[in-house]
Chain A
């Protein structure tokens, strides 16, 4: 399948989820009356749409709000303001089905359950499948991810890291979700296993028309998997567009900084910017104006005002210089 074909597919694909100016903040400490003294601003105005059958990659450093966004999509955190709109529901039910694959399969699988029960846990939680059929469903999904049916009664500790991640993927698949959130799905795995898991995810997506939201700090994994990419900085999306445009022709200075820092085969390390600040500003007190201003080498007049996303449908940037 060539890249152009993927893009045309996602352009006409219906939106299934739209986030409008979503903000999330957490109270950090309370005074003696129990009133919050300050807030950690985790998400600061996210506008995003998710289309059916696409892979949306989300990249950014730790502390930029990637995981809060994942929790928000899972329904584990409610937005402080703004809204999540489920546009079209696949099964026409009242509940939205979002499943997640975590980074570490060791700690995200219950060590005391046989894997067929782990795989069908989302089904029992939702209570919409007959108990007698659970094992058959588990066998079917397990074979799709490359786990042999005779292993269904084994426990997680009897599997290798790569197989455990396959089980975690099977669990996410079993309830036929609208969206699967992949939270760093391969960063706990070895290189040779990483390739197997990425191939499996791509194959499953083609066969079942799945929608992925891939959260990762590994840019090459995102480049390989994603159709569209959102770059996050301090709880905002600073650049959003097709994977080719954002990762090959980045426009926002932060995206450039991030991509330059990614180790690449055969490209020597250059010593410039050794003392440049590499830390995110704190999210207790949000900076005035453009959030990236302090680390930006293009900072000029106009950066003291908050920035809006500029650009066309295929490539939007939150920067008045490069927008």
Chain B
């Protein structure tokens, strides 16, 4: 599963990013550090405004240039500094070394062109093979996604396919150049549960087979617990907790993770009130100096006026939490 010895395919180190705005700049990322090892499935969970999508978009350099400012930190993918890459280099990297799957396959595919045309464009651009070879390859990729009649799908327009089918086409396309890293930003939010399960299984099967690492961005805790090897929990643009999925889900250390998990309807008897996290996510344009979760935290203490660092738990350098509270042992 996890390969600690090899160099990570993605390393984000203490990255801070802000969007310039009138008066106060919006600080979307505040010192994010994360890494993805080869062949690993890593989840990033958080609510809206936690910076998870900005992280994904920045990794592929898809944020509009000059709309943001990196204030500190570094981002390297496959030992290449992504923040310094030119547009020409990016065209080679995107799709070949790293691919991305978006939430809504209808908007990610071009509605005016047939599926075949769109798939062939990507394959020919990156692999320099003839159109007929590319077509054979596209058919094989779609067949791997358990699509019964690939030839027919290639001749279809995106609107002729169902949501699950479109997302399978996107996955086939993402794997077309055998990337080392796949970033999936809420890939199944627009799908039904039965289709969601199938798409996730296909994604995992293909990734394990090709040794592709996946960075899964989601807000669904249950999905992360089923799908990911490791997980990062983000809040106000920073990682507040990280570790192996079953450790984070089974014995959450940060009060925010604890709050997220106990707020799920399946955690209480039907009809009983749910646990809630009071208040709202603070405004990213005026974050407090101390711990950003302090005003919503049930364990708030005087020391919380200072912002806690992400520190290892029990000497395990994979398992970290950003909280002043002493480590809670599993009872």
Interface of A toward B, CB cutoff 8 Å: 1-3, 6, 61-62, 160-162, 190-196, 198-199, 202-203, 217, 219-221, 223-225, 243-244, 257-258, 261-269, 271, 273-276, 278-279
Contact = CB atoms under 8 A, between A and B. Distances in A.
B146 to A, nearest CB: 4
Nearest to B197: A261
Contacts of B200: 269
**Contact residues of B: prevailing secondary structure:** helix
B194 interface: yes
A192 B260 contact: yes
Contacts of B265: 195, 198, 220-221, 223-225
A174 B275 CA distance: 27
A279 B222 contact: no
Contact of B193 (A190, A192, A221, A262): A262
B140 interface: no
A274 B162 contact: no
Contacts of A161: 48
Contacts of A263: 193, 196-197, 220, 222-223, 225-226
B202 A243 contact: no
A193 B269 CA distance: 19
A279 B146 CA distance: 13
Contact of B222 (A196, A217, A243, A265): A265
A264 B222 contact: yes
A75 to B, nearest CB: 28
B213 to A, nearest CB: 18
A121 B204 CA distance: 49
A61 B192 contact: yes
Contact of B194 (A3, A190, A258): A258
B205 A264 contact: no
B194 A278 contact: yes
B164 A162 contact: no
Given A61-B194, A162-B280, A261-B194, 16 more contacts: A1-B271, A62-B192, A190-B48, A191-B219, A192-B259, A195-B263, A195-B275, A217-B192, A223-B266, A263-B196, A263-B222, A265-B221, A267-B225, A267-B226, A269-B201, A274-B198
Contacts of A278: 164, 192, 194-195, 198
Nearest to A270: B201
22 contacts: A3-B270, A192-B260, A192-B276, A193-B47, A203-B273, A220-B266, A223-B266, A223-B270, A224-B274, A257-B194, A261-B197, A262-B193, A269-B197, A269-B200, A269-B226, A273-B198, A274-B201, A274-B202, A274-B205, A278-B194, A278-B198, A279-B195
Interface in B152-204: 162-165, 192-198, 200-202, 204
Given A61-B194, A198-B265, A278-B195, A224 B270 contact: yes
B111 interface: no
B227 interface: yes
Contact of B269 (A3, A257, A271): A3
A273 B201 CA distance: 10
B312 interface: no
B57 interface: no
B226 A268 contact: yes
A220 B261 CA distance: 13
B204 A269 contact: yes
B54 interface: no
A9 B198 CA distance: 40
A202 B276 contact: no
A62 B162 CA distance: 11
Given A194-B263, A223-B265, A271-B205, A202 B273 contact: yes
